[in-house]
């Protein structure tokens, strides 16, 4: 497993740089997880106050910032996004998953509305991918307050097996997170090739995340990579966990100021005979 600096700004990773779509190699996959904060640019603590209205009302800079997000994510093969909107007043009724899919030139996109507040807001997850999954399942995660979910995507491998990916945005409360991670662990019980990524809202050493690792054997290749807040990262909330058979050739937190979180990316290599193939129709 090759390690790189946990916080890096490199040529081609800045949000204003134009690039073409990533070219997926059959046994390599570039993954990114990013909490996009509904397209709100935040770079100071006081922005939580001065920008609070932007969580409810449209504003002119949202789509311009999302265009920068789209240019940045275009270098990846599979992108999991948290805190999007599926088309309400605050996004000018634009489905932000579909928008980023088009601007980033991803041929396949999937959205799950976690909390539907009608015209006011449609809180959602978005999964963008260059390779079509053989199956996508939307999960409602348990918890005392409805509004947390997960997207499961299953990618076909040439040897007849599958790579299973879960995109999550977990609850703020520890008890709810524990039940949500227990749910995910149950779905991964017999999966030899798996990835779980997203905004977990907890540190690697938390009891609930340690319980997931104990049940599933998932590894965190970047346990000390802080992602929040983006202007002074101190908390490790955003994770990409994977089964031990998936080797890591590159991983980093990207120092791009597009949200209140920093994106976390990883490049994995699949096992021998584990070449990715397009879904059969």
Could you report the per-residue pLDDT of 40-91, keeping only the tens digit for each?
Answer: 887 656 556 567 656 667 788 899 999 999 999 999 999 999 999 999 999 9
Residues in the chain: 281
Q: Which residues contact 259 (CB under 8 A, 6 or more apart)?
A: 34, 35, 36, 37, 40, 41, 42, 69, 83, 230
Q: Which residues contact 200 (CB under 8 A, 6 or more apart)?
A: 168, 170, 177, 209, 237, 238, 239
Class of the CATH domain delimited by 7-13+24-269:
alpha beta
Q: Is 37 helix (H, G, I), strand (E, B) or coil?
A: helix
Looking only at the bridges linking them, the beta strands covering 7-8 and 28-35 are: unpaired
What is the residue extent of each domain of the chain?
7-13+24-269
Calpha distance 165→130 (Å, rounded):
14
pLDDT of residue 46: 55
pLDDT of residue 57: 74
Q: Which residues contact 103 (CB under 8 A, 6 or more apart)?
A: 66, 67, 70, 71
The residue assigned the tokens 């799950």 is 112
Could you report the per-residue pLDDT of 153-177, keeping only the tens digit for each?
Answer: 999 998 899 999 999 999 999 999 9
pLDDT of residue 24: 53
Between helices 207-216 and 174-187, what is the axis angle to 10°? Answer: 10
The residue assigned the tokens 């798996």 is 194
The residue assigned the tokens 């995507």 is 153
pLDDT of residue 157: 92
pLDDT of residue 173: 96
Report residues of the chain scoring pLDDT below 70.
1-26, 43-50, 52-56, 273, 280-281
With beta carbons less than 8 A apart as the criterion, state whether 170 and 202 touch: yes
């Amino acid at each position: 497993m090759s390690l790189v600096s946990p916080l890096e700004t490199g040529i081609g990773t800045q949000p204003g740089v134009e690039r073409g779509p990533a070219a997926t190699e059959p046994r390599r996959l570039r993954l990114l997880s990013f909490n996009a904060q509904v397209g709100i640019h935040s770079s100071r603590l006081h922005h939580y106050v001065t920008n609070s209205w932007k969580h409810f009302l449209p504003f002119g800079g949202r789509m311009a910032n999302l265009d920068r997000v789209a240019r940045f994510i275009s270098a990846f093969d599979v992108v999991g996004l948290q805190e999007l909107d599926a088309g309400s007043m605050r996004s000018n009724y634009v489905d932000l998953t579909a928008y980023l899919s088009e601007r980033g030139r991803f041929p396949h996109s999937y959205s799950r509305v976690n909390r539907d507040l009608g015209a006011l807001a449609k809180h959602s997850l978005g999964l963008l991918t260059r390779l079509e999954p053989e199956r996508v399942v939307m999960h409602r995660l348990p918890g005392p307050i409805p509004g947390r979910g997960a997207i499961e995507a299953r990618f076909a491998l040439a040897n007849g097996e599958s790579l299973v990916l879960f995109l999550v945005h977990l609850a703020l409360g520890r008890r709810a997170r524990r039940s949500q991670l227990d749910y995910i662990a149950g779905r991964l019980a017999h999966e030899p090739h798996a990835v779980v990524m997203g905004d977990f809202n907890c540190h690697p050493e938390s009891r609930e995340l340690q319980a997931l690792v104990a049940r599933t054997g998932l590894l965190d290749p970047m346990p000390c990579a802080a992602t929040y807040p983006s202007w002074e990262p101190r908390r490790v909330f955003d994770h990409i966990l994977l089964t031990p058979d998936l080797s890591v050739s590159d991983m980093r937190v990207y120092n791009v100021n597009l949200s209140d979180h920093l994106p976390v990316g990883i490049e994995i290599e699949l096992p021998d005979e584990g070449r990715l193939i397009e879904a059969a129709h």
